[in-house]
Amino acid sequence: MDKHLHVISFDVPLPANYGGVIDVFYKFKALAALGVKIHLHCFEYGRKEVPELAEICEEVFYYHRNTTRGYLFRRRPFIAVTRSSEQLVQRLLKDDYPILFEGLHTCYHLADERLMNRFKIVRTHNIEHDYYRSLAKVEKQVFKKYYFLNEAVKLQRFERTICNAQLVAAISKADSAYLDSKYPNVNHISAFHPNDKVEIAAGIGEFCLYHGSLEIGENNQAALHLIKNVFSKIDVPLIIAGNKPSQELKEAVSDNPNIEIRTNLNTQEIHQLIKDAQVNVLPTFQATGIKLKLLAALYMGRHCLVNSFMVENTGLEPLCRVEDTDKRFIQAVQSLFAEEFSISSRKKREVILNQRFCNTVNAKKLHSLIFDSEILRK
């Protein structure tokens, strides 16, 4: 029998050029490769319809996301209430296929009584209320800080709707442990990504790289920290790659001739920078979910220098140089900048990444959890 799956995505998943949609796209692509017929439902709020999705999916539907400010005053989280659609529900009711909700963002209809007898899966990308509180900590604009804090309270309350799912697929071990303590049938399914194999360039690179969406508060904070506490104190070149840098970040860079910002880069250009860099420096101050940019650096880049927050509970600690003080970070940059990446380090990456982050392996695990479930067969 043909196997079908509804996938509700919080955004149009192509181009797959930021964390959340990367996991969404490469997940259903891997499931489709296993023969699953994907019925994709996308909430659209700026990205255009993508004809290429129809080549992978059985059906693709788009729904306008209404981001009217009035939704800020609803009891449910803004990220969820703005992704509601009666048209979506009516399409789901036309069959009895299982439904995959991508993130709490898409769970507005999870508790709908009309879907009570359906097999429903929630993919969690973060512990969202923790993530939003972390965003509030680094946000300097008063309105945005209030929004993040208010949304965190709503998300913590709304999270209980997960009880209406028959399966929860957590993206990280830490998230899985937290959710497993509160909800039934929680499984850890690692992040999906665009990399099939470890490909690391020979030789030694000529710069260090930090990359990420710079309009996100945590990335802006990390970039500023690298400038002020690490690279302003040494003569090692640093490229910061990402869109929409803050004025504060631009000014910090202008004071340091060894540092530059590159913006408006496409995915291929970012990947080339990751490959060309001698050291990918990726500190973070939020231990939430798993950072897909870390996986990209490990699959394509040479040395990877991080702090504990970036790798804790990911299983990726052995593949990175982990330092937590500015002094040790500086020393690590200087030593790694002159050190050729070894064959043994490459082999270690291949073993660990193939065991834990292979898209095919993880797709087979998710496929089994969905389609071999006793609940579904009943």
What structural domains and CATH numbers belong to the chain? Answer: 3-193+358-372 (3.40.50.2000), 208-356 (3.40.50.2000)
Q: What is the pLDDT of residue 289?
A: 63
Could you tell me the CA-to-CA distances from 64 to 33, 88, 187, 335 in Å, in that order?
29, 11, 31, 51
DSSP 235: -
Q: CB-based burial of residue 156 (10 Å sphere; 0-12 exposed, 13-18 middle, 19+ buried)?
A: middle
- Residues 308-325: b if buried by 16+ CB within 10 A, e if exposed: ebbbeebbbeebbbbbee
Q: What is the pLDDT of residue 313?
A: 81
Whole-number Å distance between alpha carbons of 140 and 256 = 24
List the structure tokens of 97: 């296929």
> Helix or strand or coil: residue 138?
helix
Strands 303-306, 59-64: parallel, antiparallel or unpaired by DSSP? unpaired
Whole-number Å distance between alpha carbons of 154 and 152 = 5
> Helix or strand or coil: residue 183?
coil
Q: Which stretches of the chain score pLDDT less than 70?
A: 288-289, 374-378
Q: What is the pLDDT of residue 285?
A: 87
Q: CB-based burial of residue 367 (10 Å sphere; 0-12 exposed, 13-18 middle, 19+ buried)?
A: middle
- Reading phi first (left if > 0) and then psi (alpha if -120 to 50, else beta), residue 310 is in alpha
Decide if 150 contacts 159 (C-beta within 8 A).
no
Whole-number Å distance between alpha carbons of 214 and 241 = 8
Decide if 324 contacts 307 (C-beta within 8 A).
yes
Q: What is the pLDDT of residue 378?
A: 47
Decide if 138 contacts 221 (C-beta within 8 A).
yes
